[in-house]
Amino acid sequence: NIGAAAEEMHYKAYVVGGFVRDLLMEKDNYDIDIVIEGDGAKFAVNYAKKHNAKVFVHKKFKTAVVSFDDGFKIDFATARTEYYVTPAAAPEVVESSVKSDLFRRDFTINAMAVRLDGAQFGLLLDFFMGQKDILDKKIRVLHSLSFVDDPSRAYRAIRFAVRFGFEIGSHTDRLIKHAESLDLFSRIIGQRQFLELKYILAEDGYLFALQLMNKYNMLRFYSTKIKYDDELINKFKRSEHLLNWYKIQFEEDIEVWRMRFNILFFPEKGENFISLIDKFELSSKEASILKDDHKYMEYAVSLFKRYKDHKPSFIYGVCSNLSVESALALAAVMGESKQDIIKDYLTEYKNVKIDLSGQDLIEAGIPKGPEIKKALDVLLKAKLDGIVNTKEDELLFIKN
Ligand code: ATP
């Protein structure tokens, strides 16, 4: 029905990019990108009105997102050509035909479109041999200046290569090496740099992606402390076992990219890690999650090294500020010897609660104020170490 709506407005409509790629590869894809030859934003507003959906318009880029009540979304754009005024800067946008819109895209496999309006409904537009590259399992850019226009495409090339088990074409491979030698990757803005890494770390094949980034000497743009060696590979392998263990225990999903990020950047110490995160220019919420994860991992490692007596209350004190993602990362970086301790923390100690309430303590004669918190802490420690077990034990313990 997008096609019919386009006909009414005398526009041409196409579904483009990842959706077409995944359609040809028979993979599910629920991200629908529509390109309109005409005013894409105006089209989206009309389309949303017809279907009682919400629309958000981005005037400058002539794009819009239409969201339906069930959460389903469609992205609409105006067919455009982009001019890069300076390399790696935001492009200037002008209206254009679908062919030049496709020409500004990253790889041949992502640069195909299917016509949605009129008699030509279903026609596949493949100007750059995307179908052939799917069959040949190749990631290829459309022209030699592709990485000059947008160096972040090199990280995308790696991501798609590992996701589909494709090879990076030989010309594209040379262009990535050339871009690296020209230091083009250092021009990628922080947020983009972060997102590309996050997407890579969310892929099942992330380890192979890191190997490719290492081969192209691209890890240095994140941190010179990251060494892709057997030690790092072993940490990641351990983390995968831990992750499987966690999923079986708790049947809940965690942010795997975050666990992997914590492992990858653990060699960066304190202040250096903080300035590295600041360069990504993330929201203050995201930045503080990453900084806290790192800080509490460092804290735990130093305490585990300093003290040898690992009573449950000690382990609780060391681990209680860790997120699940950083606890699993910690277990992976500390090696076999500490894994069971962290597993015990996650399965047992983390959930220990005392039975007495603050009110119970007041009734038992503890004065209101900070004394209550102190008493609760002491009780929790005693419970963790098995000194008290029942509510009666707790009451006796506190009275003494
Ligand atoms: P995914 O399955 O990871 O979402 P996708 O191909 O849908 O893959 P998006 O990042 O959503 O990836 O991009 C949608 C489309 O926009 C791509 O298929 C590609 O045609 C184009 N595109 C995205 N990023 C770039 C880029 N940096 N340079 C050129 N074209 C891009």
* CA pair distance 92, 77, nearest whole angstrom: 15
153 touches ligand 1 (CB under 6 Å): yes
105 touches ligand 1 (CB under 6 Å): yes
17 touches ligand 1 (CB under 6 Å): yes
| Spacing, Cα 17 to ligand 1 middle (Å) | 6
Start-to-end C-alpha separation, the chain: 76
| Spacing, Cα 48 to ligand 1 middle (Å) | 24
The pTM for the full model equals: 0.91
| Spacing, Cα 157 to ligand 1 middle (Å) | 11
ipTM associated with this complex: 0.98
- Ligand 1 atom with least separation from CA of 149: 28
> Which single residue is written with the structure tokens 């992750």?
243
Mutual angle of helices 336-347 and 230-250, in 10-degree steps: 20
3-state helix, strand, coil in the chain (%, to 5): 55, 10, 30
| Spacing, Cα 18 to ligand 1 middle (Å) | 6
Question: What pLDDT, on the 0 to 100 scale, is given for residue 324?
Answer: 95
| Spacing, Cα 110 to ligand 1 middle (Å) | 7
Residue nearest to atom 10 of ligand 1 (CA): 18
Query: Cβ–Cβ contacts within 10 Å for residue 187, how many?
Result: 18
Mutual angle of helices 153-164 and 190-202, in 10-degree steps: 10
- Ligand 1 atom with least separation from CA of 104: 29
Per-residue pLDDT 10s for the chain (400 aa) are: 899 999 999 999 999 999 999 999 999 999 999 999 999 999 999 999 999 999 999 998 899 999 999 999 999 999 986 656 666 666 655 557 899 999 999 999 999 999 999 999 999 999 999 999 999 999 999 999 999 999 999 999 999 999 999 999 999 999 999 999 999 999 999 999 999 999 999 999 999 999 999 999 999 999 999 999 999 999 999 999 999 999 999 988 899 999 999 999 999 998 999 999 999 999 999 999 999 999 999 999 999 989 887 899 999 999 999 999 999 999 999 988 889 999 999 999 999 999 988 888 888 888 888 988 888 899 999 999 989 888 888 888 888 7
Question: What pLDDT, on the 0 to 100 scale, is given for residue 400?
Answer: 78
